[in-house]
Every structure is written in C-alpha cells, then in structure tokens.
Amino acid sequence: MDLRTRISTDLKQAMKDKAAERLSTLRLVNAAIKDKDIAARAEGNDDGVAEPEVLAILGKMAKQRLESARAYEEGGRLDLAERERSEIAVIEEFLPRQLDEKESTAAVEAAVAEVGATSIRDMGKVMGVLKAKYTGQMDFGRVGPLLKDRLSN
C-alpha cells in the first residue's frame, strides 16, 4: 500500500475512533501533501508529488515539530511541547526507520565511492545520490558536516 493510501486510511480510522489529536495531525499531513500537489500541477506535473517527495514532506513536518517542542520546553510550556511530541509520533509512523550513525557513515562512504568524489566540489553530487536513496531515512543536516569532513581529508 502506498503512503498516500496509508495516510488516507488512517485518517478515516481516526475519524471512526474519534481520536481527535491523531485526526488533527493526519489532516495537517494530508493538507501539506495536497499543497505540494497543487504546486506540482501548476508546474505542469498533473500526477502531483511522488512517494519520495511525500517522505520529504513528512520528514520536514517532523523536524519542524521537534524544533517547536524544544522551543516550548525552553520557554517552560511543557503542555505545548508534549502536544508537538505526540504529533511527531503520529508523523513518524509513516516514515521509514531512521539510519543510525554507523549506517549513515556507511551510506556516505558508498555514495562517495559511487560518484567518485574526491573534493568538496563533489559534495552536491554525493548529496544528490544520498537524497535519491535515503529520503526520509536520514537527517541531511547531520550528514552534511559528516560528508564535508570526509571530502576535505
């Protein structure tokens, strides 16, 4: 079952279960995907966004909520931080398992070898390969410095 179908099915189930918080989060996810679909149609892509782009949307939404939760905790608003964390839990149900640091390093090494990268100038090519293969599975904010260190040696 593709990701859109899973989200839609879970949205309907949340309505039946009267799970208000889950329903709210799934509606936000659905709206974000539809926004991207509309933007894609405006650019001439009538099919909307593909699965990797949906994963990128979900990853971005989870990251935004994590940043918000941290800000709320620093501000002493633990109730709002807890709500953000519950939304993260719902979003992460649809994301593939995140690679740990060891797996990320191995993926970077494989991508460097695949591209034949030798200098920092090849960083964009390597990141392109990584994003094509591991969207939703790794935090590219952490991978960037790792890749930079690898290519500058």
* Mean pLDDT of the 3-9 span: 91
Dig out the tokens for 92 from the structure.
Answer: 């992460």
Which carries the bigger pLDDT value, residue 47 or residue 32?
Answer: 32
Dig out the tokens for 105 from the structure.
Answer: 């390093």
Any idea what DSSP says for residue 96?
P
Query: Quick check: 153 pLDDT over 70?
Result: no
Angle at 8 between CA 4 and CA 13, to 5 degrees: 145
Any idea what DSSP says for residue 50?
-
Query: Quick check: 138 pLDDT over 90?
Result: no
Q: What is this structure's pTM? A: 0.73
- Return d(Cα 24, Cα 60) in angstroms, integer: 17
Which carries the bigger pLDDT value, residue 8 or residue 149?
Answer: 8
pLDDT digits (tens, 9 = 90+) for 63-109: 899 999 999 999 999 999 999 999 999 999 998 888 888 888 888 88
Q: What amino acid occupies position 64?
A: Q
- Return d(Cα 12, Cα 4) in angstroms, integer: 12
Q: Domains for the chain: give ranges and CATH numbers.
A: 3-92 (1.10.1510.10), 101-152 (1.10.10.410)
Give the number of other Cβ atoms within 10 Å of residue 103's Cβ: 14
Query: Quick check: 127 pLDDT over 80?
Result: yes
Tell me what pLDDT residue 1 has: 67
Tell me what pLDDT residue 25 has: 95
Query: Quick check: 33 pLDDT over 90?
Result: yes
Query: Quick check: 47 pLDDT over 90?
Result: no
- Return d(Cα 28, Cα 50) in angstroms, integer: 18
